[in-house]
Amino acid sequence: MKRLADFSVKHPLIVVITVILITFVAVYFARGVTMTTDIKDFFPEDDPRVMTYDHVEEIYGSGEYIMVALETDDVFNQRTLENIDRLSREFEEFQGVSSVQSLTAIDDIKGVDGDLKIEPLVDEIPEDEVSMQRLKDDVLGDRMYGGFIVSEDSQATLIISEVNPDYDSLAVADEIGEIVAGYEGHERIYLTGTPVLNNVLAESMQADLKFLVPLVLVMIGLILWFVFKSFRGILLPFASVGFSLVWTVGFMGLLNKDFSPLNAVMPVILISLGTAFGIFILKRYYEEMGSGLKSEVAVIASITSVGVAVLMAGGTTAAGFASNLLSDITLIQEFGLFTGFGVLAALFISLTFIPAVISLLGEGKTREFNERSKIGEMLIKAIDRPKLIIGLTAIILILSLAGLPRIEIDSNFFNFFAEDSEPRIAYDFVRDKFSGSESVEIIIEGYDVTEPEILQSMEAFQKELYETGMVGRPTSLTDIISKTNLALQTGEGDNYYVPDSGNLISQYLLLIEMNDSDYLERFLTFEEDGARIQALVQDTSGSEIDRLMSKIDDLGAKHFGDQPVEITSTGIIVLIDALAEMIIEGQLSSIITALIAVFFIVYLLLKSWQGSILSVVLVGFLTVLNFGIMGWAGIKLDVVTVLISSIGIGVGVDYAIMVYARYLEEKKKGLQVREAVVRTVETIGSAIMSNAIAVISGFIILIFSYFPPFRFFGILVTTLMLAAAVGSILVMPAVILQIEKIRR
């Protein structure tokens, strides 16, 4: 550390120019960094579930839909139908839209004089009440349209635009969104669907960052002013953090990575944690200056003395974030990589750039710091009652453990929005009126899926799946065959069914192909060896999707068990379900590995088995506390809150190392256990609390985020930071004293 300090002080221009040059290079690479919200980016490229999703999309068309819902007293009126027709035509003009389905833009199978015709469902908009009522009765009475294109109460209707997989779905959603925003009809209009969600999510996160980052800077700036009472004390930590942020984003650009819903919170994390490094260094510098040392000597003394502790703190914090590299979720891995890199960058800049600038600026306004603080005195009184402290901690631990079973997993991005936000209102409206905006795609593959036995099994499968109430009415080739049979058969009774004759089915398919060669491609492969069943999903929460997937597996085994076919489920909701599963698996493995790593890292640094065990216990307690609070408070474990444990591990072990290292240092001076503990608490207790307050002041700003998960993230990290500080300077000393009493 002394060599690094000597170089920074003796060659300050080299250090400053080097930092600035690296920053310019980082700016060059950072220019291309944007925001991604595609759920597929959470998975490795070779993940079989993503490959299946892409394969189905390539064969049957996109599984992504943009839904525009219109609400009025009764959609079957001339003005509403004209508005639907106008909007449908506008959407069809976009190259990024493969097809549009609406009351005025959907083809219907009809029987005309014993012949099959595929014609528009609404050829001409009725102008009289009788014709309008007839259309209403026909649509609501049709199993393919009632409850799908028009709600069963006829108060809402959908315009469904299928996104062309060759085009950027966010751009398509943006174009359709502009039309919807300028809509001047008398109906209330809603816009939803995964592309819409992703587009709003990306735009809102960028706006969120622009709003939150300045607030974080102001809050931490006030803390720095309170601590140092000088502009130098504010600007130097901010400069270090600013440079580290640019370096991190530049590193992202170098690797062709973008911001995501996960690392969007990274700037707040780096500002909050990175500022703490500067606080430690500057605080020690002013202490050395207060003892009468010259500026350059004080800088070198500061880095030499506190630099090792700062290095250990930064290294273990980075290691905590690096534990996310063990996750199977790609974006969590990237969060761990880039946030860990940012922490190390802030650490390096703080240890080099700050001393170099101080050397260039010379002596500034100094402020004396009282080593023995009021906080330290209060803590000393508290640790004299170790049994009480340990008992209270045990009670908190038991309560936290009791909250673990209450945790719910949620990977649905619609829950990123508050219930009263426009995206959530639109999502809930379409879910309530039309069974949802996201679909599950069930693929049936075999030698010939047009065989009557297979189609009838599909029909029975769809019927029972619909009766579960978890999905809207499924649509597939069986509905087209049944509709054709209804159109061409003139016998009595309900002719909406799949006939037993394979020859008759083949004739139906030929007639459909002759009328419209593209009509079947969404549900049947050209070779007739694959068919798609599509159903809108009512509830896309993690638990309900998991239940739906299990039900699909059970019904598949029941109805296709003796059929020569394979059944595969895919779609956005399948990826959501897989993501929830990966969150659980990744969290368990990363926590266990991180705890093992903490044990050995602390031992390598402190050469103390007791210190290693106490550090693991503290970090383990913080982890259980975090999840316990989530369970009792009803905060769901999602792709954002799952990151909190890595922060708790990194920061918790920082504080543990700082406390135990100082304790060992005092022991080496010949002090007894109690004297060493007291000396540790009264000296380092204030520094840790100042550090925690500075970091908390940054994270607490997240409660003003537009997104509920980020608000919960801020609250939980704030609680965890406070618990880590109290645990290290109160509980750890109490445990050390109690162990000493037992040994006696």
CATH 3.30.70 for domain 439-570, yes or no, is yes
221, two tokens: 């700036």
CATH architecture of 2-40+199-415+577-743: Up-down Bundle (1.20)
Q: What is the 3-state secondary structure (H, E, C) of 350-414?
A: HHHHHHHHHHHHCCCCCCCCCCCCHHHHHHHHHHCCHHHHHHHHHHHHHHHHHHHHHCCECCCHH
In whole angstroms, give the CA distance from residue 157 to residue 178.
Answer: 20
Would you say the CATH fold of 439-570 matches that of 2-40+199-415+577-743?
no
Which pLDDT value is given to residue 559? 93
257 pLDDT higher than 60? yes
Q: For residue 663, which phi and psi values (nearest 5 degrees)?
A: -60, -45
- Distance of alpha carbon 383 from alpha carbon 375, whole angstroms: 12
Highest mean pLDDT among 185-199, 393-407, 658-672: 393-407
Is pLDDT above 70 for 232?
A: yes
Range with the poorest average pLDDT among 55-64, 159-168, 244-253, 303-312: 303-312
**pTM of the prediction?**
0.81
**pLDDT tier, 649 (very low <50, low <70, confident <90, very high otherwise):** confident
CATH C-level class of 65-192: alpha beta
Task: Write down the pLDDT at residue 579.
Answer: 82
pLDDT digits (tens, 9 = 90+) for 573-626: 888 888 877 877 777 777 888 788 888 888 887 788 888 898 889 989 999 999
More confident residue, 690 or 252: 252
Residue 131 scores a pLDDT above 80: yes
pLDDT of 366: 57
Domain ranges of the chain: 2-40+199-415+577-743, 65-192, 439-570
Specify the higher pLDDT residue, 570 or 601. Answer: 570
DSSP, res 533:
E
- Range with the lowest mean pLDDT among 243-257, 455-469, 576-590? 576-590
Percentage of the chain beyond pLDDT 90 is 35
Point out the least confidently predicted range of 169-183, 184-198, 300-314, 728-742: 300-314
- The percentage of the chain sitting over the pLDDT mark of 70, rounded to a whole number, equals 97
**For the ranges 21-30, 188-197, 516-525, the one whose mean pLDDT is highest:** 21-30
**Pick from 316, 281, 271: which is nearest to 656 by CA?**
316
Look at residue 369 in the predicted model and tell me its pLDDT: 52
| Among the ranges given (263-267, 422-426, 441-445, 446-450), the one the predictor scored with the smallest mean pLDDT | 263-267
Contact 341, 248 (CB under 8 A): yes
Q: Residue 651 has what pLDDT?
A: 77
- pLDDT tens across 328-383, in order? 888 888 988 999 999 999 999 999 999 999 888 876 665 555 555 566 667 677 77
